[in-house]
Amino acid sequence: MDDFDSRFLTRNGLAARQLAVLLLNHEPDTRLPRVRDFAEELGCGNGTVQAALQLLEESGAITTTARGHLGTFLVRSDRAVLWRLSGLGTLLAAMPLPYSRRYEGLATGLRGAFEQAGAPFAVTFMRGAGARTAALLEGKVDLVVLSRFAADQLIADHPVELVADLGPATYVGAHGMLVRHGVDLETPGLRVAVDHTSEDLRMLVERVFAGRRDIEWREVSYM
């Protein structure tokens, strides 16, 4: 560890790391909060914030400029350096099992987007929207990929939020139901497969057979 890096272990350096997290939310050419506002949020003094800002400038993470009564503006930020100094580590995303080219493409696109944003990114594959959401709530992953259909239901039931809507058909092209040849859906006593780890499958199948008490449900992995 060189002399400069060791400065980030001091009180001012620790404040700089906390400040780096906050600055990740600011775009270039925007006005920064006042020093005393940063100080209040970080729970430290104005002088500590000023020293922390100077450390971040010296590290090449940011460039700021004072514009008189307009305040201090963020001229430039290097998100990769800010992320490294923040100590946030690698973001872990949980995605569905990559059983189609569409899922594989989505995983590749997400990795590229995060790398371009300067954030280390890794993917773990996990079957079932409910299981992925449980992993998020337990702090095992930082974000999850869900269909919007499943997300709307899970957001209503759990303390999670939607951070990005990637638009229609980025997750799946369409939903469908497979029926054995020659079987009529109105046939009494139908045996219907359902995978309760998949919010999409569960909700769609239950919607198709809503009100039917004669259905014999069979727990089967959708894979």
DSSP state of 210: T
Long-range pairs for 193-197: beta carbons < 8 A, 24 or more residues apart = 193/218, 193/219, 193/220, 193/222, 194/218, 194/219, 194/220, 195/128, 195/219, 195/220, 195/221, 195/222, 196/130, 197/127, 197/128, 197/129, 197/130, 197/131
Provide DSSP, 133-179.
Answer: HHHHHTTS-SEE---HHHHHHHHHHSS--------TTSS-S------
Residue 191: strand pairing partners: 216
Which pLDDT value is given to residue 176?
Answer: 82
pTM higher than 0.85: no
> What are the average pLDDT values for consecutive 10-residue runs of the chain, which has 223 residues?
62 90 91 94 93 92 92 92 88 87 86 86 89 93 90 88 87 82 91 87 89 92 79
- Retrieve residue 215's tokens: 């259905």
61 within 8 A of 20, measured Cβ to Cβ: yes
Summarised one tens digit per residue, pLDDT across range 108-160 is 898 898 888 888 899 999 988 888 999 999 999 999 999 888 888 888 889 99
Structure confidence at residue 5 (pLDDT): 66
Question: By three-state DSSP, how is residue 208 classified?
Answer: helix
